[in-house]
Structure 1
Amino acid sequence: MNYTEETYFLDFNNPKIKGITSQFININSKTELIESLYIYVRDNWRYSPFNIGLKKEHFKASNIADKKDGHCIDKAIVYITCLRAFNIPARLHLAKVSNHIATERLEKIIGTNQLAPHGLVDVFHNNKWVKCSPAFNKELCKLYNVDTLEFNGTKDSVLQEFNKSNDKFMSYLEDYGAFEDVPLDFIKETFKSNYPNFYDKYKNLDQIII
């Protein structure tokens, strides 16, 4: 498998993505580049699970770049695309998680605090795959009293299990594995199987804002 290729979803030659990556072309260290791009994606799109799309175009990096916020898969796609622009192998990793804090709005709509699929990023650096989550921006972490995740490709950096008060924050429930490209059909089937009523109600809309 080739984890540096451009695809329909990971369109790093699009001018919108080049507008992002051009800001980092003078960084010579791959470790520093991985870190700088991670921070950019983490903090330049507010995390929001409430703006969802289930059509092909919603998962295209250049379209996500136009948004002011994004859910975990959105932000993972942008980060992977930017890394591949610099020939750094990267792939989407999907999982099922539960969120234990500030989920009242989400639970009221989908009936659970479990999110599936949740998007992570695997990066190949120093001859090994390492995992990260660029989903939660710094402001959100401050709001919910959790440590802001940092990442430079040297070790895994995934969602926070506890907040700073030692209250349960996030749990990983199931690992769906890694994907060379965005697996749209798998994402839709996972969404449908976890939230069948919600899926049937909104599947034909161009955009879901909940």
Structure 2
Amino acid sequence: MKASAQTTNSNDLSSYLAPGRYVDSDHPAVIAFARRVADPSMTPREIAVKLYYAVRDEFLYDPYYFDTTVEGLKASHVIEAGRGFCVPKAALLAAAARALGIPARVGYADVRNHLTSQRLYEMMGTDLFVFHGYTELWVDGQWLKATPAFNRSLCEKAGIHPLEFDGSADSVFHEFDVSGRRHMEYVHDHGTYADLPRDELLASWRVHYKTFADWGQVAADGGADFAQEVGKPS
């Protein structure tokens, strides 16, 4: 189900609290993770902030670990694998928030990454990340964007500003890196969903990425350190 931030109110949040197929907030591993990170007695803002940083930093951002199976895109799979790309990491933040009673949903935007690595550029054939995943959390009566993709250690190695989130304002990718080079440019926002729209994502990736069918083989070869690749001159 696709949603509109403009029409949401406190009376229609049930779909953003219920478990989804991919935002599997009822999975034991998700529940255990959420309860380890934050106490249900905390304020929604405190819970949201703690969960954001735990998802951002405890699970490595790895665009080469590209499992697009039903199981591979679930929030719980990120916990099992210890890593993931932006889409399942966003699902994990949403699932953990729901597990602690915070309404949450997943959103997607087309983002141009001006500092993508040469290897990733060759794999994708472009620097446009279509359907980049983010999370929206309902905190203090408003939807806030949170982007938990890039873990701090990756950012430090790559010279990228790590994204901070204080539970009171949107947290989206920076336009520039620490050296002032152009970094992220938001091109198009696809909106938000109660659960991950797998069929829509796969269809869009097949259209935009001509080599999409081969990505599983590219990702499976391993041996890449994405943190060392990002931001290097191509």
TM-score (norm. length: structure 1):
0.92
Alpha-carbon contact 1:88-1:124 (below 8 Å) kept: yes
Alpha-carbon contact 2:106-2:194 (below 8 Å) kept: yes
Query: Which letter does structure 1 place at the counterpart of 2:83?
Result: D
Q: CA deviation at 1:206?
A: 9.6
Q: Over residues 152-200 of structure 1, what are the superposed CA-to-partner deviations in whole Å (9 max), with x where a residue is unaligned?
A: 321011011101111101111111111111101111111111113x233
Gapped runs of 5+ residues in structure 2? 1-11, 222-234
Alpha-carbon contact 1:100-1:113 (below 8 Å) kept: yes
Going from structure 1 to structure 2, the CA distance change for 1:27 and 1:147 (only over 3 Å counts) comes to: farther
- Residue 190 (structure 2) pairs with residue 179 (structure 1): no
Q: CA deviation at 1:54?
A: 2.1
Q: Following the alignment from structure 1 to structure 2, what is the Cα–Cα distance between the partners of residues 101 and 207?
A: 20
> For residue 56 of structure 1, what is the aligned residue in structure 2?
70
Q: Following the alignment from structure 2 to structure 1, what is the Cα–Cα distance between the partners of residues 83 and 214?
A: 23
> For residue 22 of structure 2, what is the aligned residue in structure 1?
9
Q: Over residues 92-115 of structure 1, what are the superposed CA-to-partner deviations in whole Å (9 max), with x where a residue is unaligned?
A: 110111111242011112211111
- Residue 35 (structure 2) pairs with residue 35 (structure 1): no
Q: Following the alignment from structure 2 to structure 1, what is the Cα–Cα distance between the partners of residues 22 and 152?
A: 26
SS at match of 1:190: helix
Bigger shift: 53-62 or 114-123? 53-62
Q: CA deviation at 1:26?
A: 5.5
After TM superposition, the runs of 4+ consecutive aligned structure 1 residues lying more than 6 A away are none
Among 100, 103, 107, the alignment partner of 1:93 is 107
**What does 1:1-210 align with in structure 2 at a 5 Å threshold?**
2-23=15-36, 24-25=38-39, 27-196=41-210, 198-201=211-214, 208-209=219-220
Alpha-carbon contact 2:62-2:84 (below 8 Å) kept: yes
Going from structure 1 to structure 2, the CA distance change for 1:145 and 1:200 (only over 3 Å counts) comes to: closer
Q: Following the alignment from structure 1 to structure 2, what is the Cα–Cα distance between the partners of residues 209 and 96?
A: 25
Query: Which letter does structure 2 place at the counterpart of 1:65?
Result: I
Going from structure 1 to structure 2, the CA distance change for 1:61 and 1:206 (only over 3 Å counts) comes to: farther
Alpha-carbon contact 1:51-1:207 (below 8 Å) kept: no
Q: Over residues 139-162 of structure 1, what are the superposed CA-to-partner deviations in whole Å (9 max), with x where a residue is unaligned?
A: 111112222111132101101110
SS at match of 1:51: coil
Task: Calculate the aligned-residue CA RMSD, in Å.
Answer: 1.8
Q: Following the alignment from structure 1 to structure 2, what is the Cα–Cα distance between the partners of residues 52 and 138?
A: 20
Q: CA deviation at 1:208?
A: 4.4
Bigger shift: 98-107 or 162-171? 98-107
Q: CA deviation at 1:64?
A: 2.0
Gapped runs of 5+ residues in structure 1? none
Query: Which letter does structure 2 place at the counterpart of 1:52?
Result: F
Alpha-carbon contact 1:93-1:177 (below 8 Å) kept: yes
Going from structure 1 to structure 2, the CA distance change for 1:82 and 1:200 (only over 3 Å counts) comes to: same
Percent of residue pairs identical: 29
